């Protein structure tokens, strides 16, 4: 029986600025927020002057902390490091990445103890312009920087799903003698981006734990409540979901608010049944007006993950997550 768990959500400034969001997150029982530094924090390498986005972000973190939330913070991505900090892949580049991470860990020392370095670096779109092996070095130097800035910080990396590159990178970062990471992150969208459903998490988590022997925090998981599914013929062409505005995969009867709510309960039960899973961050708080990948408002791909709709009103998924958290806390309260 677990007596603690990081009940988390991914959100950004758009969510937090909306009236009632904080109150509603408390209502659901969410205690942890996973969010991301908005790009590279500095305008100028010489003066180390903060960008306006970074200053606004700092205020958001202070606000969340003042409202009782714990924070898991995501560092900047390789493509966000300005050329003036060193040509990507050069020694100067890695040294600067380490230094900036050391600075960030010190800067947020009071408010942030859990860090994740970059995101899903097994995917080209997130590791660009680095190669796979350069990305491994990047993850290590950034992790080292965070530890130098705040020795008690807990650090991890996460991959998208468990493809060949993901496993190669997990092995390089978590197996061997000099592992610097304290826990391991995992992302998966079984039934949307990948075949399967909530129970596919069972095998995936067992495999990851066996490989890394570290506590796992699910960094991203979810099920979209919108969108039709491609036919076999359509999927076999390899066409990207945004192009047809249809999913590659579905779970049960498809992508609907009802299935989304059921998915949340079933997946959370898998996470809570495993001692080594110490937290999970649902992706994401609210539906979006536009798909961030293709920019279209009528594309279901990145617009239907939310626990609330685009106006902040609860969907069935909101109540599903709330019921799982409340049951856990009631049982915990009896011990």
Binding site for Zn ion (CB under 5 A): 242, 291, 293-294, 299, 301
Give the C-alpha separation, 289 to 302, whole Å: 9
Contact 315, 225 (CB under 8 A): yes
Q: Smaller CB distance to Zn ion: residue 185 or 304?
A: 304
CB of residue 220 to Zn ion, shortest distance in Å: 17
CB of residue 247 to Zn ion, shortest distance in Å: 11
Give the chain's end-to-end CA distance (angstroms, integer). Answer: 10
Give the C-alpha separation, 126 to 318, whole Å: 29
Instruction: List b or e across 218-243, with b for residues whose CB sees 16 or more CB atoms inside 10 angstroms.
Output: bbbbbbbbbbebbeeeebeeeeebbe
Q: Smaller CB distance to Zn ion: residue 30 or 299?
A: 299
Q: Smaller CB distance to Zn ion: residue 132 or 294?
A: 294
* Rounded (5°) CA angle 63-279-8: 35
Q: Smaller CB distance to Zn ion: residue 135 or 299?
A: 299
Q: Computed from CA positions of residues 151, 16, 124, 91, in that sequence, does the dihedral angle turn out positive or negative?
A: negative
CB of residue 133 to Zn ion, shortest distance in Å: 31
Q: Smaller CB distance to Zn ion: residue 224 or 322?
A: 224
CB of residue 292 to Zn ion, shortest distance in Å: 8
CB of residue 245 to Zn ion, shortest distance in Å: 7
CB of residue 248 to Zn ion, shortest distance in Å: 13
Q: Smaller CB distance to Zn ion: residue 132 or 242?
A: 242
What contacts 182, CB < 8 A, 6 or more positions away?
Answer: 154, 155, 156, 214, 215
């Amino acid at each position: 029986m677990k007596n603690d768990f990081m009940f988390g959500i991914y959100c950004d400034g758009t969510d937090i600025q909306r009236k009632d969001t904080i109150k509603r997150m408390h209502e659901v029982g969410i205690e942890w927020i996973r969010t991301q530094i908005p790009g590279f924090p500095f305008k100028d390498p010489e003066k180390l002057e903060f960008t306006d986005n970074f200053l606004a972000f700092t205020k958001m973190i202070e606000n969340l902390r003042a409202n009782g939330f714990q924070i898991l913070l995501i560092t900047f991505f390789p493509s966000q490091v300005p050329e003036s900090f060193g040509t990507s892949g050069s020694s100067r580049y890695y040294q600067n990445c380490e230094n900036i991470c050391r600075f960030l860990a010190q800067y947020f020392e009071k408010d942030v103890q859990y860090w994740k370095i970059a995101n899903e670096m097994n995917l080209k779109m997130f590791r660009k312009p680095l190669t796979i092996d350069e990305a491994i070095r990047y993850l290590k130097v950034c992790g080292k920087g965070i530890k130098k800035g705040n020795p008690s910080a807990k650090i991890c990396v996460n991959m998208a799903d468990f493809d060949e590159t993901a496993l190669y990178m997990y092995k390089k970062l978590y197996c061997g003698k000099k592992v610097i990471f304290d826990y391991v992150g995992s992302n998966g969208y079984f039934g949307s981006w990948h075949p399967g459903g909530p129970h596919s998490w069972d095998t995936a988590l067992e495999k990851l734990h066996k490989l890394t022997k570290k506590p796992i925090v699910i960094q991203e998981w979810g099920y979209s409540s919108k969108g039709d599914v491609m036919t076999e013929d359509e999927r076999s062409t390899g066409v990207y979901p945004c192009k047809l505005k249809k999913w590659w995969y579905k779970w049960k009867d498809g992508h609907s608010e009802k299935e989304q709510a059921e998915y949340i309960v079933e997946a959370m039960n898998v996470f809570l049944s495993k001692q080594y899973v110490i937290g999970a961050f649902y992706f994401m708080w609210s539906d979006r007006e536009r798909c961030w990948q293709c920019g279209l408002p009528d594309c279901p791909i990145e617009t239907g993950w939310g626990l609330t709709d685009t106006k902040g009103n609860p969907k069935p998924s909101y109540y599903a997550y709330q019921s799982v958290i409340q049951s856990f806390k009631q049982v915990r309260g009896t011990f």
